[in-house]
Structure 1
Protein backbone atom coordinates (compact mmCIF):
# COMPACT_ATOMS: atom_id res chain seq x y z
CA UNK A 1 0.00 0.00 0.00
CA UNK A 2 1.18 3.55 -0.64
CA UNK A 3 1.99 5.97 2.21
CA UNK A 4 -1.74 6.48 2.44
CA UNK A 5 -4.62 4.59 0.81
CA UNK A 6 -5.40 5.56 -2.78
CA UNK A 7 -8.63 3.59 -3.06
CA UNK A 8 -11.19 3.58 -0.24
CA UNK A 9 -14.60 2.01 0.32
CA UNK A 10 -17.02 4.26 2.23
CA UNK A 11 -20.16 2.62 3.59
CA UNK A 12 -23.08 4.87 4.42
CA UNK A 13 -21.77 7.10 1.66
CA UNK A 14 -25.05 8.96 1.11
CA UNK A 15 -25.47 9.95 4.75
CA UNK A 16 -24.70 13.39 6.18
CA UNK A 17 -21.23 12.41 7.38
CA UNK A 18 -20.65 10.14 4.40
CA UNK A 19 -21.09 13.04 1.99
CA UNK A 20 -18.51 15.13 3.85
CA UNK A 21 -16.08 12.20 3.92
CA UNK A 22 -16.50 11.84 0.14
CA UNK A 23 -15.81 15.54 -0.38
CA UNK A 24 -12.62 15.31 1.68
CA UNK A 25 -11.39 12.21 -0.14
CA UNK A 26 -12.08 13.84 -3.51
CA UNK A 27 -9.95 16.83 -2.51
CA UNK A 28 -7.18 14.44 -1.48
CA UNK A 29 -7.29 12.68 -4.85
CA UNK A 30 -8.47 9.37 -3.36
CA UNK A 31 -10.55 7.06 -5.53
CA UNK A 32 -13.75 6.07 -3.72
CA UNK A 33 -16.35 3.36 -4.00
CA UNK A 34 -19.51 4.17 -2.09
CA UNK A 35 -21.95 1.71 -0.57
CA UNK A 36 -25.42 2.74 0.55
CA UNK A 37 -29.02 1.57 0.38
CA UNK A 38 -29.78 4.28 -2.18
CA UNK A 39 -27.85 6.35 -4.71
CA UNK A 40 -28.82 10.04 -4.76
CA UNK A 41 -26.89 10.44 -8.00
CA UNK A 42 -24.79 13.42 -6.95
CA UNK A 43 -21.99 11.87 -4.89
CA UNK A 44 -18.34 12.66 -5.77
CA UNK A 45 -17.04 9.13 -6.22
CA UNK A 46 -15.80 6.73 -8.85
CA UNK A 47 -18.27 3.90 -8.28
CA UNK A 48 -21.48 3.40 -6.32
CA UNK A 49 -22.83 0.08 -5.08
CA UNK A 50 -26.45 0.09 -3.92
CA UNK A 51 -27.38 -2.41 -1.25
CA UNK A 52 -27.29 -3.41 2.38
CA UNK A 53 -23.92 -3.34 4.18
CA UNK A 54 -25.08 -6.37 6.14
CA UNK A 55 -25.22 -8.55 3.01
CA UNK A 56 -21.89 -10.29 2.24
CA UNK A 57 -22.51 -10.44 -1.52
CA UNK A 58 -23.13 -6.68 -1.65
CA UNK A 59 -20.02 -5.90 0.36
CA UNK A 60 -17.91 -8.22 -1.82
CA UNK A 61 -19.16 -6.35 -4.87
CA UNK A 62 -17.99 -3.05 -3.36
CA UNK A 63 -14.56 -4.14 -2.10
CA UNK A 64 -12.41 -4.84 -5.20
CA UNK A 65 -9.42 -2.53 -5.26
CA UNK A 66 -10.06 -1.01 -1.84
CA UNK A 67 -7.00 -0.50 0.33
CA UNK A 68 -8.99 0.84 3.29
CA UNK A 69 -12.58 1.08 4.51
CA UNK A 70 -14.42 3.89 6.29
CA UNK A 71 -17.48 2.18 7.74
CA UNK A 72 -20.29 4.63 8.51
CA UNK A 73 -23.39 2.60 7.59
CA UNK A 74 -25.72 2.27 10.59
CA UNK A 75 -29.10 3.14 12.02
CA UNK A 76 -27.90 6.19 14.00
CA UNK A 77 -30.37 6.22 16.90
CA UNK A 78 -32.53 3.72 18.80
CA UNK A 79 -35.70 5.65 17.93
CA UNK A 80 -35.24 4.99 14.19
CA UNK A 81 -36.20 1.33 14.30
CA UNK A 82 -37.23 -1.47 16.57
CA UNK A 83 -34.64 -2.60 19.13
CA UNK A 84 -34.00 -5.69 17.00
CA UNK A 85 -33.58 -3.65 13.81
CA UNK A 86 -31.18 -1.21 15.45
CA UNK A 87 -29.00 -3.68 17.31
CA UNK A 88 -29.04 -6.56 14.85
CA UNK A 89 -28.77 -4.34 11.77
CA UNK A 90 -25.84 -2.31 13.07
CA UNK A 91 -23.83 -5.20 14.45
CA UNK A 92 -24.45 -7.41 11.42
CA UNK A 93 -23.26 -4.68 9.04
CA UNK A 94 -20.09 -4.09 11.04
CA UNK A 95 -19.30 -7.79 11.24
CA UNK A 96 -19.94 -8.38 7.54
CA UNK A 97 -18.03 -5.32 6.32
CA UNK A 98 -14.96 -6.06 8.44
CA UNK A 99 -15.00 -9.80 7.77
CA UNK A 100 -15.27 -9.32 4.01
CA UNK A 101 -12.67 -6.55 4.10
CA UNK A 102 -10.28 -8.84 5.94
CA UNK A 103 -10.73 -11.63 3.39
CA UNK A 104 -10.18 -9.07 0.59
CA UNK A 105 -6.80 -8.10 2.05
CA UNK A 106 -7.83 -4.71 3.45
CA UNK A 107 -5.60 -3.79 6.37
CA UNK A 108 -7.00 -0.40 7.48
CA UNK A 109 -10.52 0.24 8.73
CA UNK A 110 -12.05 3.26 10.44
CA UNK A 111 -15.53 2.84 11.84
CA UNK A 112 -18.05 5.22 13.33
CA UNK A 113 -18.64 4.44 16.96
CA UNK A 114 -20.36 6.90 19.26
CA UNK A 115 -20.27 8.46 22.68
CA UNK A 116 -23.53 6.54 23.06
CA UNK A 117 -21.32 3.53 23.80
CA UNK A 118 -20.93 5.01 27.28
CA UNK A 119 -24.62 4.25 27.80
CA UNK A 120 -25.70 7.69 28.93
CA UNK A 121 -27.19 9.26 25.81
CA UNK A 122 -30.23 7.00 25.32
CA UNK A 123 -30.75 5.54 28.78
CA UNK A 124 -34.26 5.58 30.20
CA UNK A 125 -32.99 7.23 33.38
CA UNK A 126 -30.30 9.70 34.33
CA UNK A 127 -26.86 8.10 34.24
CA UNK A 128 -23.61 9.72 35.28
CA UNK A 129 -20.00 9.12 34.29
CA UNK A 130 -17.68 7.69 36.92
CA UNK A 131 -15.34 10.61 36.30
CA UNK A 132 -14.75 13.58 34.03
CA UNK A 133 -13.22 14.29 31.66
CA UNK A 134 -14.26 10.92 30.29
CA UNK A 135 -11.69 8.86 28.40
CA UNK A 136 -11.41 5.46 26.77
CA UNK A 137 -11.07 3.68 30.15
CA UNK A 138 -14.49 4.88 31.32
CA UNK A 139 -16.75 2.07 32.61
CA UNK A 140 -19.68 1.59 30.22
CA UNK A 141 -23.30 1.49 31.43
CA UNK A 142 -25.26 0.63 28.31
CA UNK A 143 -29.04 0.11 28.65
CA UNK A 144 -30.24 0.74 25.08
CA UNK A 145 -29.92 -1.18 21.78
CA UNK A 146 -28.05 1.57 19.92
CA UNK A 147 -25.40 2.08 22.59
CA UNK A 148 -25.03 -1.68 22.85
CA UNK A 149 -24.60 -1.97 19.08
CA UNK A 150 -21.71 0.49 19.24
CA UNK A 151 -20.12 -1.32 22.15
CA UNK A 152 -20.36 -4.57 20.19
CA UNK A 153 -19.04 -2.88 17.03
CA UNK A 154 -15.94 -1.84 18.95
CA UNK A 155 -15.45 -5.40 20.20
CA UNK A 156 -16.02 -6.77 16.71
CA UNK A 157 -13.33 -4.45 15.36
CA UNK A 158 -10.93 -5.59 18.06
CA UNK A 159 -11.55 -9.22 17.12
CA UNK A 160 -11.15 -8.51 13.40
CA UNK A 161 -7.86 -6.80 14.11
CA UNK A 162 -6.58 -10.05 15.60
CA UNK A 163 -8.35 -12.31 13.08
CA UNK A 164 -7.13 -10.58 9.93
CA UNK A 165 -4.11 -8.60 11.10
CA UNK A 166 -5.85 -5.35 10.19
CA UNK A 167 -5.61 -2.00 11.94
CA UNK A 168 -9.00 -0.84 13.20
CA UNK A 169 -9.92 2.51 14.72
CA UNK A 170 -13.35 3.05 16.28
CA UNK A 171 -14.11 6.76 16.57
CA UNK A 172 -16.49 7.68 19.38
CA UNK A 173 -18.26 10.63 17.80
CA UNK A 174 -20.33 13.06 19.89
CA UNK A 175 -23.25 15.10 18.52
CA UNK A 176 -22.38 15.83 14.87
CA UNK A 177 -23.49 18.68 12.64
CA UNK A 178 -22.47 21.31 10.14
CA UNK A 179 -22.15 25.08 10.18
CA UNK A 180 -25.43 26.94 10.44
CA UNK A 181 -27.66 23.90 10.85
CA UNK A 182 -27.78 21.12 13.42
CA UNK A 183 -25.06 22.46 15.69
CA UNK A 184 -26.69 25.88 15.97
CA UNK A 185 -30.03 24.24 16.76
CA UNK A 186 -28.39 22.07 19.40
CA UNK A 187 -26.58 25.04 20.92
CA UNK A 188 -29.88 26.90 21.28
CA UNK A 189 -31.58 23.87 22.82
CA UNK A 190 -28.79 23.33 25.33
CA UNK A 191 -28.71 27.03 26.19
CA UNK A 192 -32.46 27.04 26.85
CA UNK A 193 -32.44 23.68 28.64
CA UNK A 194 -28.91 22.89 29.88
CA UNK A 195 -30.01 19.56 31.31
CA UNK A 196 -30.99 18.28 27.88
CA UNK A 197 -27.30 18.02 26.95
CA UNK A 198 -26.11 16.38 30.16
CA UNK A 199 -26.29 12.80 28.83
CA UNK A 200 -24.05 13.85 25.92
CA UNK A 201 -21.72 15.92 28.13
CA UNK A 202 -22.60 18.91 25.92
CA UNK A 203 -20.00 17.68 23.40
CA UNK A 204 -20.08 18.13 19.62
CA UNK A 205 -17.99 17.84 16.47
CA UNK A 206 -18.32 19.43 13.05
CA UNK A 207 -18.83 17.00 10.17
CA UNK A 208 -15.65 18.30 8.55
CA UNK A 209 -13.59 17.42 11.61
CA UNK A 210 -15.29 14.03 11.88
CA UNK A 211 -14.38 13.34 8.25
CA UNK A 212 -10.77 14.34 8.87
CA UNK A 213 -10.62 12.07 11.91
CA UNK A 214 -11.81 9.17 9.75
CA UNK A 215 -9.14 9.92 7.15
CA UNK A 216 -6.41 10.11 9.80
CA UNK A 217 -7.63 6.80 11.20
CA UNK A 218 -6.88 5.03 7.91
CA UNK A 219 -3.77 6.96 6.94
CA UNK A 220 -1.66 7.53 10.07
CA UNK A 221 0.98 4.89 10.87
CA UNK A 222 -0.82 2.66 13.39
CA UNK A 223 -1.19 -1.02 14.15
CA UNK A 224 -3.70 -2.96 16.20
CA UNK A 225 -7.09 -1.85 17.48
CA UNK A 226 -7.94 1.54 18.97
CA UNK A 227 -11.07 3.17 20.42
CA UNK A 228 -10.81 6.97 20.45
CA UNK A 229 -12.98 9.82 21.66
CA UNK A 230 -13.03 12.79 19.27
CA UNK A 231 -14.74 16.10 20.06
CA UNK A 232 -14.38 19.85 19.73
CA UNK A 233 -12.45 21.45 22.61
CA UNK A 234 -15.44 23.42 23.92
CA UNK A 235 -19.05 22.52 24.66
CA UNK A 236 -22.16 23.75 22.87
CA UNK A 237 -23.60 24.87 26.20
CA UNK A 238 -23.78 28.51 27.24
CA UNK A 239 -22.80 27.93 30.87
CA UNK A 240 -19.32 27.11 32.22
CA UNK A 241 -18.59 23.39 32.27
CA UNK A 242 -17.85 23.22 35.98
CA UNK A 243 -21.23 24.82 36.71
CA UNK A 244 -22.98 22.30 34.47
CA UNK A 245 -21.20 19.38 36.12
CA UNK A 246 -22.09 20.66 39.57
CA UNK A 247 -25.74 20.78 38.55
CA UNK A 248 -26.12 17.61 36.46
CA UNK A 249 -23.22 15.25 37.30
CA UNK A 250 -22.30 16.24 40.88
CA UNK A 251 -21.05 12.78 41.88
CA UNK A 252 -18.65 12.39 38.93
CA UNK A 253 -15.05 12.58 40.13
CA UNK A 254 -13.05 15.44 38.64
CA UNK A 255 -9.67 14.26 37.37
CA UNK A 256 -8.70 17.53 35.67
CA UNK A 257 -9.69 21.18 35.73
CA UNK A 258 -12.29 22.16 33.13
CA UNK A 259 -12.13 25.94 32.86
CA UNK A 260 -14.67 27.96 30.90
CA UNK A 261 -16.60 25.85 28.41
CA UNK A 262 -13.97 23.10 28.17
CA UNK A 263 -15.49 19.87 26.92
CA UNK A 264 -15.47 17.16 29.63
CA UNK A 265 -14.08 14.64 27.16
CA UNK A 266 -10.38 13.74 27.06
CA UNK A 267 -9.29 13.61 23.41
CA UNK A 268 -5.62 13.17 24.24
CA UNK A 269 -5.43 9.67 22.76
CA UNK A 270 -6.76 10.89 19.40
CA UNK A 271 -4.25 13.72 19.49
CA UNK A 272 -1.33 11.40 20.22
CA UNK A 273 -2.25 8.60 17.83
CA UNK A 274 -3.87 10.50 14.97
CA UNK A 275 -2.54 14.02 15.36
CA UNK A 276 -6.21 15.04 15.55
CA UNK A 277 -7.60 18.28 16.88
CA UNK A 278 -10.83 19.95 15.86
CA UNK A 279 -10.47 22.86 13.45
CA UNK A 280 -14.10 24.00 13.32
CA UNK A 281 -15.33 25.37 16.64
CA UNK A 282 -18.68 26.91 17.48
CA UNK A 283 -17.91 30.06 19.49
Structure 2
Protein backbone atom coordinates (compact mmCIF):
# COMPACT_ATOMS: atom_id res chain seq x y z
CA UNK A 1 0.00 0.00 0.00
CA UNK A 2 1.02 3.57 -0.31
CA UNK A 3 2.06 5.53 2.72
CA UNK A 4 2.28 9.18 1.73
CA UNK A 5 -1.14 10.02 0.28
CA UNK A 6 -3.59 8.12 2.45
CA UNK A 7 -6.70 10.30 2.27
CA UNK A 8 -8.42 12.63 -0.14
CA UNK A 9 -8.14 16.37 0.41
CA UNK A 10 -11.11 18.15 1.95
CA UNK A 11 -14.02 18.76 -0.44
CA UNK A 12 -12.91 16.33 -3.13
CA UNK A 13 -15.56 14.66 -5.28
CA UNK A 14 -15.05 11.76 -7.67
CA UNK A 15 -17.24 10.58 -10.53
CA UNK A 16 -16.77 6.82 -11.01
CA UNK A 17 -18.06 5.30 -14.24
CA UNK A 18 -18.77 1.59 -14.33
CA UNK A 19 -19.94 1.90 -10.73
CA UNK A 20 -22.41 -0.99 -11.05
CA UNK A 21 -19.65 -3.51 -11.82
CA UNK A 22 -17.52 -5.59 -9.49
CA UNK A 23 -14.47 -3.36 -9.63
CA UNK A 24 -16.67 -0.26 -9.56
CA UNK A 25 -18.30 -1.48 -6.36
CA UNK A 26 -14.92 -1.97 -4.70
CA UNK A 27 -13.51 1.34 -5.93
CA UNK A 28 -16.50 3.46 -4.90
CA UNK A 29 -16.53 1.93 -1.42
CA UNK A 30 -12.77 2.38 -0.99
CA UNK A 31 -12.77 6.00 -2.16
CA UNK A 32 -15.72 6.88 0.07
CA UNK A 33 -13.93 5.30 3.02
CA UNK A 34 -10.80 7.35 2.34
CA UNK A 35 -12.39 10.77 2.05
CA UNK A 36 -14.10 11.34 -1.29
CA UNK A 37 -17.69 12.27 -2.01
CA UNK A 38 -18.50 9.57 -4.58
CA UNK A 39 -20.94 9.78 -7.49
CA UNK A 40 -21.49 6.54 -9.42
CA UNK A 41 -22.41 6.39 -13.11
CA UNK A 42 -23.15 3.42 -15.35
CA UNK A 43 -25.15 2.38 -18.38
CA UNK A 44 -26.96 0.00 -15.99
CA UNK A 45 -28.84 1.10 -12.87
CA UNK A 46 -26.38 1.57 -10.01
CA UNK A 47 -27.64 -0.36 -6.95
CA UNK A 48 -28.27 1.69 -3.83
CA UNK A 49 -25.19 1.92 -1.64
CA UNK A 50 -25.00 4.12 1.42
CA UNK A 51 -21.55 5.39 0.50
CA UNK A 52 -22.71 6.89 -2.81
CA UNK A 53 -23.70 10.55 -2.69
CA UNK A 54 -25.59 10.28 -5.98
CA UNK A 55 -25.90 8.12 -9.09
CA UNK A 56 -26.39 8.69 -12.80
CA UNK A 57 -27.49 6.24 -15.48
CA UNK A 58 -26.95 6.55 -19.21
CA UNK A 59 -24.99 5.47 -22.27
CA UNK A 60 -21.44 6.72 -21.62
CA UNK A 61 -20.80 6.94 -25.36
CA UNK A 62 -23.56 9.57 -25.52
CA UNK A 63 -22.24 13.10 -24.86
CA UNK A 64 -25.59 14.20 -23.42
CA UNK A 65 -25.62 11.36 -20.88
CA UNK A 66 -22.02 12.07 -19.94
CA UNK A 67 -22.77 15.78 -19.49
CA UNK A 68 -25.67 14.86 -17.20
CA UNK A 69 -23.38 12.63 -15.11
CA UNK A 70 -20.88 15.45 -14.73
CA UNK A 71 -23.68 17.86 -13.78
CA UNK A 72 -24.69 15.45 -11.02
CA UNK A 73 -21.11 15.19 -9.77
CA UNK A 74 -20.52 18.94 -9.87
CA UNK A 75 -23.70 19.53 -7.87
CA UNK A 76 -21.95 17.60 -5.07
CA UNK A 77 -18.68 19.54 -5.45
CA UNK A 78 -18.29 22.73 -3.39
CA UNK A 79 -17.10 25.86 -5.25
CA UNK A 80 -13.64 25.50 -3.73
CA UNK A 81 -13.57 21.69 -4.12
CA UNK A 82 -11.96 19.43 -6.71
CA UNK A 83 -13.60 16.96 -9.11
CA UNK A 84 -11.79 13.77 -10.12
CA UNK A 85 -12.92 11.10 -12.58
CA UNK A 86 -12.33 7.35 -12.45
CA UNK A 87 -13.33 5.69 -15.72
CA UNK A 88 -13.96 1.97 -15.25
CA UNK A 89 -16.90 1.51 -17.62
CA UNK A 90 -16.09 -0.87 -20.48
CA UNK A 91 -16.91 -4.16 -22.12
CA UNK A 92 -14.55 -6.20 -19.92
CA UNK A 93 -13.57 -8.97 -22.34
CA UNK A 94 -14.01 -10.15 -25.93
CA UNK A 95 -17.05 -12.22 -26.86
CA UNK A 96 -19.63 -10.40 -24.75
CA UNK A 97 -20.63 -8.32 -27.77
CA UNK A 98 -19.19 -8.51 -31.27
CA UNK A 99 -15.73 -7.10 -31.90
CA UNK A 100 -17.04 -3.92 -33.53
CA UNK A 101 -19.17 -3.09 -30.51
CA UNK A 102 -16.29 -3.92 -28.16
CA UNK A 103 -14.10 -1.43 -29.98
CA UNK A 104 -16.82 1.21 -30.30
CA UNK A 105 -18.06 1.11 -26.72
CA UNK A 106 -14.67 0.95 -25.03
CA UNK A 107 -13.02 3.58 -27.19
CA UNK A 108 -15.91 6.02 -27.50
CA UNK A 109 -16.89 5.87 -23.83
CA UNK A 110 -13.30 6.65 -22.85
CA UNK A 111 -13.06 9.47 -25.38
CA UNK A 112 -16.44 10.97 -24.41
CA UNK A 113 -15.82 10.82 -20.66
CA UNK A 114 -12.26 12.12 -20.95
CA UNK A 115 -13.20 15.06 -23.18
CA UNK A 116 -16.05 16.13 -20.92
CA UNK A 117 -13.67 15.87 -17.97
CA UNK A 118 -11.24 18.16 -19.77
CA UNK A 119 -13.95 20.70 -20.57
CA UNK A 120 -15.03 20.74 -16.92
CA UNK A 121 -11.43 21.38 -15.77
CA UNK A 122 -11.43 18.12 -13.86
CA UNK A 123 -8.50 17.81 -11.49
CA UNK A 124 -7.43 14.28 -12.51
CA UNK A 125 -8.59 11.34 -14.62
CA UNK A 126 -7.76 7.74 -13.73
CA UNK A 127 -8.80 5.08 -16.22
CA UNK A 128 -8.80 1.29 -16.28
CA UNK A 129 -6.69 0.04 -19.13
CA UNK A 130 -5.63 -3.59 -19.31
CA UNK A 131 -2.60 -5.84 -19.46
CA UNK A 132 -4.29 -7.00 -22.68
CA UNK A 133 -3.25 -3.70 -24.26
CA UNK A 134 0.06 -5.41 -25.08
CA UNK A 135 -1.86 -7.75 -27.40
CA UNK A 136 -1.08 -11.18 -25.99
CA UNK A 137 -4.08 -12.07 -23.83
CA UNK A 138 -6.89 -12.23 -26.39
CA UNK A 139 -4.95 -12.76 -29.62
CA UNK A 140 -6.17 -15.39 -32.08
CA UNK A 141 -2.65 -16.84 -32.19
CA UNK A 142 0.26 -17.54 -29.90
CA UNK A 143 2.74 -14.68 -29.75
CA UNK A 144 5.89 -14.38 -27.69
CA UNK A 145 6.66 -11.23 -25.71
CA UNK A 146 9.68 -9.34 -27.03
CA UNK A 147 11.12 -9.49 -23.52
CA UNK A 148 10.14 -10.22 -19.94
CA UNK A 149 9.07 -8.92 -17.51
CA UNK A 150 6.79 -6.71 -19.61
CA UNK A 151 6.99 -3.00 -18.83
CA UNK A 152 4.87 -0.13 -20.13
CA UNK A 153 7.23 0.43 -23.09
CA UNK A 154 6.79 -3.05 -24.55
CA UNK A 155 5.94 -2.92 -28.28
CA UNK A 156 2.27 -3.15 -29.25
CA UNK A 157 1.41 -6.67 -30.52
CA UNK A 158 -2.40 -6.26 -30.69
CA UNK A 159 -4.34 -8.27 -33.26
CA UNK A 160 -7.68 -8.27 -31.38
CA UNK A 161 -10.30 -5.56 -31.01
CA UNK A 162 -10.32 -5.65 -27.20
CA UNK A 163 -6.59 -5.03 -26.96
CA UNK A 164 -6.92 -2.32 -29.59
CA UNK A 165 -9.74 -0.68 -27.63
CA UNK A 166 -7.44 -0.39 -24.62
CA UNK A 167 -4.59 0.99 -26.70
CA UNK A 168 -6.95 3.60 -28.16
CA UNK A 169 -8.32 4.45 -24.71
CA UNK A 170 -4.77 5.11 -23.54
CA UNK A 171 -4.24 7.32 -26.58
CA UNK A 172 -7.48 9.17 -25.79
CA UNK A 173 -6.13 9.86 -22.31
CA UNK A 174 -2.83 11.16 -23.72
CA UNK A 175 -4.80 13.34 -26.14
CA UNK A 176 -6.85 14.71 -23.24
CA UNK A 177 -3.69 15.73 -21.41
CA UNK A 178 -2.33 17.46 -24.50
CA UNK A 179 -5.62 19.18 -25.29
CA UNK A 180 -6.80 20.23 -21.84
CA UNK A 181 -3.78 19.88 -19.58
CA UNK A 182 -5.60 17.39 -17.35
CA UNK A 183 -3.42 14.85 -15.56
CA UNK A 184 -4.30 11.33 -16.73
CA UNK A 185 -3.26 7.94 -15.37
CA UNK A 186 -4.19 4.72 -17.18
CA UNK A 187 -3.78 1.60 -15.05
CA UNK A 188 -3.00 -1.61 -16.92
CA UNK A 189 -4.81 -4.21 -14.83
CA UNK A 190 -4.56 -7.99 -15.31
CA UNK A 191 -7.26 -10.39 -14.10
CA UNK A 192 -8.82 -8.89 -10.96
CA UNK A 193 -10.59 -10.95 -8.32
CA UNK A 194 -11.17 -11.96 -4.73
CA UNK A 195 -13.23 -14.62 -2.94
CA UNK A 196 -14.93 -17.21 -5.18
CA UNK A 197 -13.90 -15.42 -8.39
CA UNK A 198 -10.23 -15.58 -7.45
CA UNK A 199 -10.53 -19.12 -6.12
CA UNK A 200 -12.03 -20.24 -9.43
CA UNK A 201 -9.21 -18.63 -11.41
CA UNK A 202 -6.52 -20.19 -9.20
CA UNK A 203 -8.15 -23.61 -9.62
CA UNK A 204 -8.29 -23.18 -13.42
CA UNK A 205 -4.64 -22.21 -13.60
CA UNK A 206 -3.59 -25.06 -11.32
CA UNK A 207 -5.51 -27.53 -13.49
CA UNK A 208 -4.15 -26.21 -16.82
CA UNK A 209 -1.35 -23.62 -16.58
CA UNK A 210 -0.93 -23.62 -20.37
CA UNK A 211 -4.45 -22.26 -20.89
CA UNK A 212 -3.45 -19.04 -19.09
CA UNK A 213 -0.14 -18.58 -20.92
CA UNK A 214 -1.32 -15.64 -23.03
CA UNK A 215 -2.25 -13.74 -19.86
CA UNK A 216 1.18 -14.58 -18.45
CA UNK A 217 -0.50 -15.87 -15.28
CA UNK A 218 -0.94 -12.28 -14.06
CA UNK A 219 -3.51 -11.28 -11.44
CA UNK A 220 -4.38 -8.63 -8.86
CA UNK A 221 -6.59 -8.76 -5.77
CA UNK A 222 -9.71 -6.59 -6.03
CA UNK A 223 -8.80 -4.63 -2.90
CA UNK A 224 -5.37 -3.87 -4.34
CA UNK A 225 -6.96 -2.71 -7.60
CA UNK A 226 -9.15 -0.28 -5.63
CA UNK A 227 -6.09 0.95 -3.74
CA UNK A 228 -4.18 1.41 -7.02
CA UNK A 229 -6.97 3.72 -8.20
CA UNK A 230 -6.78 5.74 -4.99
CA UNK A 231 -3.00 5.95 -5.26
CA UNK A 232 -3.29 7.16 -8.87
CA UNK A 233 -5.71 9.87 -7.77
CA UNK A 234 -3.48 11.18 -4.99
CA UNK A 235 0.09 10.77 -6.28
CA UNK A 236 1.87 14.08 -6.98
CA UNK A 237 1.81 13.89 -10.77
CA UNK A 238 1.24 15.98 -13.86
CA UNK A 239 1.03 14.88 -17.47
CA UNK A 240 -0.04 11.52 -18.88
CA UNK A 241 1.03 8.14 -17.49
CA UNK A 242 0.44 4.47 -18.34
CA UNK A 243 1.15 2.22 -15.35
CA UNK A 244 1.20 -1.56 -14.88
CA UNK A 245 -0.62 -2.64 -11.72
CA UNK A 246 -0.15 -6.38 -11.14
CA UNK A 247 0.49 -8.60 -8.13
CA UNK A 248 4.18 -9.35 -7.55
CA UNK A 249 3.60 -13.07 -8.12
CA UNK A 250 1.69 -15.22 -10.60
CA UNK A 251 -1.58 -17.11 -10.26
CA UNK A 252 0.27 -20.38 -10.97
CA UNK A 253 1.51 -22.97 -8.51
CA UNK A 254 4.46 -23.82 -10.75
CA UNK A 255 7.60 -21.71 -10.43
CA UNK A 256 7.83 -18.92 -12.98
CA UNK A 257 11.05 -20.33 -14.39
CA UNK A 258 9.27 -23.58 -15.23
CA UNK A 259 6.44 -21.70 -16.93
CA UNK A 260 8.94 -19.76 -19.03
CA UNK A 261 10.87 -22.84 -20.08
CA UNK A 262 7.63 -24.56 -21.12
CA UNK A 263 5.97 -21.67 -22.96
CA UNK A 264 8.44 -18.85 -23.72
CA UNK A 265 11.86 -20.51 -23.93
CA UNK A 266 13.25 -18.03 -26.47
CA UNK A 267 12.08 -14.80 -24.83
CA UNK A 268 14.81 -12.50 -23.50
CA UNK A 269 14.81 -11.89 -19.76
CA UNK A 270 15.74 -8.30 -18.90
CA UNK A 271 15.59 -8.44 -15.11
CA UNK A 272 15.62 -10.96 -12.30
CA UNK A 273 12.35 -12.82 -11.72
CA UNK A 274 11.72 -14.54 -8.38
CA UNK A 275 10.60 -18.11 -7.91
CA UNK A 276 6.95 -17.18 -8.44
CA UNK A 277 7.65 -13.67 -9.69
CA UNK A 278 5.23 -11.77 -11.94
CA UNK A 279 6.02 -11.39 -15.62
CA UNK A 280 4.74 -7.81 -15.53
CA UNK A 281 7.08 -5.09 -14.31
CA UNK A 282 5.17 -2.86 -11.86
CA UNK A 283 8.10 -0.77 -10.66
CA UNK A 284 6.57 2.33 -12.25
CA UNK A 285 3.55 1.92 -9.96
CA UNK A 286 5.88 1.82 -6.96
CA UNK A 287 7.93 4.79 -8.16
CA UNK A 288 5.18 7.12 -9.43
CA UNK A 289 2.19 6.10 -7.32
CA UNK A 290 3.87 4.75 -4.19
CA UNK A 291 1.70 1.66 -4.75
CA UNK A 292 2.61 -1.91 -3.83
CA UNK A 293 -0.03 -4.68 -3.65
CA UNK A 294 -0.58 -6.06 -0.17
CA UNK A 295 -2.96 -8.99 -0.77
CA UNK A 296 -1.71 -12.42 -1.81
CA UNK A 297 -2.94 -15.98 -2.08
CA UNK A 298 0.14 -18.12 -1.36
CA UNK A 299 1.36 -19.69 1.85
CA UNK A 300 4.65 -17.88 2.53
CA UNK A 301 7.67 -19.89 1.44
CA UNK A 302 10.81 -20.29 3.54
CA UNK A 303 13.54 -17.69 3.18
CA UNK A 304 17.21 -17.64 4.03
CA UNK A 305 19.84 -20.35 3.36
CA UNK A 306 18.44 -23.32 1.50
CA UNK A 307 15.31 -21.52 0.29
CA UNK A 308 14.23 -22.32 -3.29
CA UNK A 309 15.10 -19.83 -6.00
CA UNK A 310 14.09 -19.30 -9.62
CA UNK A 311 16.09 -21.15 -12.27
CA UNK A 312 18.63 -18.99 -14.04
CA UNK A 313 17.80 -17.68 -17.51
CA UNK A 314 19.77 -16.01 -20.19
CA UNK A 315 19.76 -12.26 -20.83
CA UNK A 316 19.80 -10.67 -24.29
* 1:1-283 to 2 correspondences below 5 Å: 3=9, 6-43=12-49, 44-64=51-71, 65=74, 67-178=83-194, 180-283=195-298
- In 1: Cα distance, 2:266 partner to 2:9 partner: 46
- In 1: Cα distance, 2:191 partner to 2:178 partner: 30
- In 2: Cα distance, 1:42 partner to 1:48 partner: 9
Q: Secondary structure at the match of 1:79?
A: coil
- In 2: Cα distance, 1:140 partner to 1:247 partner: 24
Q: Which runs of 5+ in 1 are unaligned?
A: none
- Deviation string 1:81-112 (CA, Å, 9 cap, x unpaired) is 01111001110000000001110110300000
Aligned-residue offset at 1:38? 2.0
- Deviation string 1:108-127 (CA, Å, 9 cap, x unpaired) is 00000000101011111111
Aligned-residue offset at 1:203? 0.8
Aligned-residue offset at 1:232? 0.8
TM-score under structure 1 normalisation?
Answer: 0.96
Runs of 4+ in 1 over 3 A off after TM superposition: 2-5
- In 2: Cα distance, 1:255 partner to 1:90 partner: 32
Q: Secondary structure at the match of 2:52?
A: coil
Aligned-residue offset at 1:62? 1.4
Give 1 or 2 for the bigger CA radius of gyration: 2
Aligned-residue offset at 1:40? 4.3
Aligned-residue offset at 1:41? 2.8
Q: CA-atom RMSD, angstroms?
A: 1.3
| Aligned residues of 1:102 and 1:160 also touching (Cα < 8 A) | yes
| Aligned residues of 2:191 and 2:219 also touching (Cα < 8 A) | yes
- Deviation string 1:167-203 (CA, Å, 9 cap, x unpaired) is 000000001101x212111111111111111111111
- Deviation string 1:116-152 (CA, Å, 9 cap, x unpaired) is 1010111111111111111011111101111000000
Aligned-residue offset at 1:5? 6.8
Q: Secondary structure at the match of 1:68?
A: strand
Q: Secondary structure at the match of 1:211?
A: helix
Aligned-residue offset at 1:78? 1.3
- Deviation string 1:53-103 (CA, Å, 9 cap, x unpaired) is 111111111113261100000001111101111001110000000001110
| Aligned residues of 1:5 and 1:68 also touching (Cα < 8 A) | no
| Aligned residues of 2:46 and 2:57 also touching (Cα < 8 A) | no
